[in-house]
Copies of this chain bind each other. A is one copy, B any other.
Amino acid sequence: MAAMQGHSTVAIIGVGLIGGSIGLALRKRNLADRIIGVGRGKASLAKALDLEAVTSTTTSLEDGVKDADFVVVCTPVNEIADLLMQVAAAAVDRAILTDAGSTKASIVAKVDSALSKGKHFVGSHPLAGGEKNGVDFARADLFESRVVVVTPSKKTDPADLVAVTYFWQCLGANVISMPPDVHDRALATTSHLPHIIASAAAQITAAADLELTAGGWRDLTRIASGSPDLWLQILLDNRAGILNSLTGFEKTMAEFRAALESADAAKLRQLLTEGKNRRDAVGN
């Protein structure tokens, strides 16, 4: 892929934590001649330039993408599909397009139904980042040994899947491919519902009891510090998947409740052991 041969132009729409980290990783690995940061906020574009996450910036999407070989949209999920359509209209036909949204089914469906023939889009979701947002937290190694999911659809050209997969691999990521709806169902349990759980666990803790929290509570609730605006969009976008996962969570919590109410030590031990075994399978 041109973008990965050191003589190409990559445009990044939305230069926050993810977009900024892509830019830093491209520079560190010397993978692009030009890295164009596109955004609405002049201050954060200036910051991205200052951090050398991009080589130039513009608030004009058309100007930013017209020479790009590769474009990645890293905005909040509710803006991604529309921006991808604008990118497709402004970029050269051969340009490869992807995004970094935490949900995939609605974005891919919208783009698939509207994109002209001869354009090249494959959705992506890097499982990286955290509760800190903004280009200030961008890191060149953010994707190293992290999973990036790419989500081809029936409309995807296999060559485009190869190109997008290769892009993330060049940034150090382990790439996994699956259909968008499979991604969304899995991420409901591994990422989206956890955000709700952490938020609920944090907010039921009385302010007066916060001095009695320790490492366990801090770990459990850490992700609740994420941006409500960003997470609101993710929750709304994948609410069917999340509600399905929530039903499973409620069922297990009800088992814990019943076991506590009846002081059923054997059942409590079984539940605790199942949780430990699943958690231990992942490692620290």
C-alpha gap A233/B123 in the complex (Å): 47
User: Smallest distance from the beta carbon of A29 to chain B beta carbons, Å?
Assistant: 22
Chain B residues whose C-beta falls within 8 Å of the C-beta of A128 in the assembled complex: 214-215
Binding stretch for chain B, among A2-10, A62-70, A266-274: A266-274
C-alpha gap A221/B274 in the complex (Å): 12
> How many copies of this chain does one complex carry?
2
| A interface SS class | helix
Q: Are B256 and A200 touching (Cβ within 8 A)?
A: yes
Q: Are A217 and B232 touching (Cβ within 8 A)?
A: no
Binding stretch for chain B, among A45-53, A109-117, A155-163, A223-231: A223-231
Contact of A275 among B199, B229, B257, B263 (CB under 8 A): B199
User: Smallest distance from the beta carbon of A189 to chain B beta carbons, Å?
Assistant: 5
Within 8 A of B (CB), among A88-131: 127-128, 130-131
- Knowing A229-B269, A239-B263, A260-B239 are in contact, say whether A215-B279 is a contact too (CB < 8 A): no
Within 8 A of B (CB), among A142-172: 146-147, 149
Chain B residues whose C-beta falls within 8 Å of the C-beta of A271 in the assembled complex: 199-200, 203
Q: Are B269 and A228 touching (Cβ within 8 A)?
A: yes
Contact of A191 among B193, B200, B214 (CB under 8 A): B214
CB-CB nearest 4 A-B residue pairs: A199-B275, A228-B272, A127-B214, A224-B279
A residues engaging B (CB < 8 A)?
Answer: 127-128, 130-131, 146-147, 149, 176, 183, 186-187, 189-191, 193-207, 209-229, 231-232, 235-236, 239, 242-243, 245-246, 248-250, 252-253, 256-257, 260-261, 263, 265, 268-269, 271-276, 278-282, 284
